[in-house]
Structure 1
């Protein structure tokens, strides 16, 4: 019986130790995007993305600032035309492109239920992103045919990108514990993308919603008490104005790529998903729809899915 008693004491000690850890200040996570997460028949345009991140809670607080977080991200995005056989220029209704970057951002959660976030990204669009190698490796792993036409991809261009995001809760005194609505606006400026995005998101809770400063809605950027459970659906429609996109139009610096196309300036975005949190663990699934982005007769809107998992710790 001694081994059983020892195991019981170890489990009991672990439980009370975990109970004493009432505050998480760090978080690590991964987000995986792929069009196959939304449809087994859909493999086009934004076709794969992977993001690794680490975030921590800053100590500075004030009566108006509830929480400040700092986050670092490493990500790669892959874009392809609608057809897997795109050696001919005419078959490229969207340029092949990859974007590899590192990001640092800070998020400020205010007492009035507003959120401010600023981010800077450094990296590369083009062959230096290793998008072709990543896609071929994934296809080899699942015995899928390689996509042909990567020789037509956007040429190398250095990425220096900035982003600012703001959100504000609507009707702070009029929503229920299971429902709230927030405005969100975003501006991007840089050598990869420049544009504006504006819309709203609504959370529909199966349990009481956490305040946005303590919720997992901003994945990887919200940390706090460990004794928390969240489960809610959300919808996030928005309208985007595209001024520039290097993955479609090529470099700002005069380097000509084999395929460069014009943008559709105004686009509609919709995200619908579910997020769950239990103490240290967070997970989500999101379905994204993006309307037509490229001025090409064959190009259409597209959709993809995103899966995320994070773990918070002291």
Structure 2
């Protein structure tokens, strides 16, 4: 497990040497895994890998916008039951599923420290999403246990998803602030919304140019920032309302096949999440390390679940 953790950090740092040094563009990698927390668990949201490219766009000097960023991302999420090895269908308390997608975002960041991030994704759930071979590769590479259970995974389906994220500064002192953080999803794969505060403590910048809003790329110099570099701790509790989740309920338009071994679940309407993290930047590097805790999202889940997320970004031109 420790070898896996250090291997991931080396990969994040190694990728940064590929680019020249400027600040209007950035490339990032995020890796999620429950084993990073050192609890010996391998369940539910078990692994995620994401690649980001973001480019700052020109902003009118007299307008209300302070920053504007176009983003492209490619990612995969994998889910299994209470373990990646189940004896039979009776042990599947959360459906096996993978979601692989490509998407784009437009991040609008205003001078009054409100932000609006719009996104669209097209992706796949089911065997075509590649969850089983990727998890087998991880387990074989690091000497983990043999998998069994992907024969019960969600069937193939194409997903089209739209998203909107809104943040707004509520109050600030010299070393602490609180913001409103919210999102809404609408699509064939994921529909729902979430709302909660974001507390930051330390050396942070305004929401229009901060790690917190994925807005550290800028086409023009940001001369009015609170700090040259960021180093802060944050806490983000959130209540999430789930209307539809294809990784739990299966594809919205896929028909039931009586010959299929697919096991779906019944989603819980409300899920409470908590995220504890630290964000820091220096020169052209940005990092975000967080631990995320979720209450049960499926009626039959035996446990709640948690994982860690490590994000590394390099800014260039």
Supply the distance in 2 between the matched residues of 1:299 and 1:241 (Cα, whole angstroms).
Answer: 20
SS at match of 2:303: coil
1:180-223 Cα shifts (integer Å, max 9, x gaps): 11001110011111101011101101x3x21111211123x431
SS at match of 2:212: coil
Unaligned 5+ residue runs, structure 1? Answer: 1-17
Give the structure-1-normalised TM-score: 0.88
Supply the distance in 1 between the matched residues of 2:51 and 2:255 (Cα, whole angstroms).
Answer: 30
Bigger Rg, which one? 1
Q: What residue in structure 2 maps to residue 223 of structure 1?
A: 217
Q: What is the CA RMSD across the aligned residues, in angstroms?
A: 1.7
Supply the distance in 1 between the matched residues of 2:136 and 2:228 (Cα, whole angstroms).
Answer: 41
Supply the distance in 1 between the matched residues of 2:299 and 2:275 (Cα, whole angstroms).
Answer: 23
Partners of 1:234 and 1:274 within 8 A in 2: yes
Q: What residue in structure 1 maps to residue 71 of structure 2?
A: 71
Partners of 1:167 and 1:183 within 8 A in 2: yes
Q: Aligned match of 1:176 in 173, 176, 181?
A: 173
SS at match of 1:217: helix
Post-superposition offset of 1:149? 0.8
Q: What residue in structure 1 maps to residue 10 of structure 2?
A: none
Give the structure-2-normalised TM-score: 0.87
Supply the distance in 2 between the matched residues of 1:24 and 1:167 (Cα, whole angstroms).
Answer: 23
* Regions of 4+ moved over 6 Å: none
Post-superposition offset of 1:87? 4.7
The worse-fitting range, judged by mean Cα deviation, of 23-32 and 107-116 is 23-32
Supply the distance in 2 between the matched residues of 1:222 and 1:281 (Cα, whole angstroms).
Answer: 10
Q: What residue in structure 2 maps to residue 289 of structure 1?
A: 293
1:279 equivalent in alignment to 2:283: yes
Supply the distance in 1 between the matched residues of 2:92 and 2:124 (Cα, whole angstroms).
Answer: 21
Supply the distance in 2 between the matched residues of 1:42 and 1:31 (Cα, whole angstroms).
Answer: 20
Post-superposition offset of 1:176? 1.6
Q: What residue in structure 1 maps to residue 263 of structure 2?
A: 259
Post-superposition offset of 1:229? 1.1
Map 1:11-90 to 2 at 5 A.
24-61=23-60, 62-90=62-90
Aligned residues: 287
Q: What residue in structure 2 maps to residue 159 of structure 1?
A: 159
Partners of 1:230 and 1:276 within 8 A in 2: yes
Q: What residue in structure 2 maps to residue 232 of structure 1?
A: 232
Partners of 1:228 and 1:279 within 8 A in 2: no
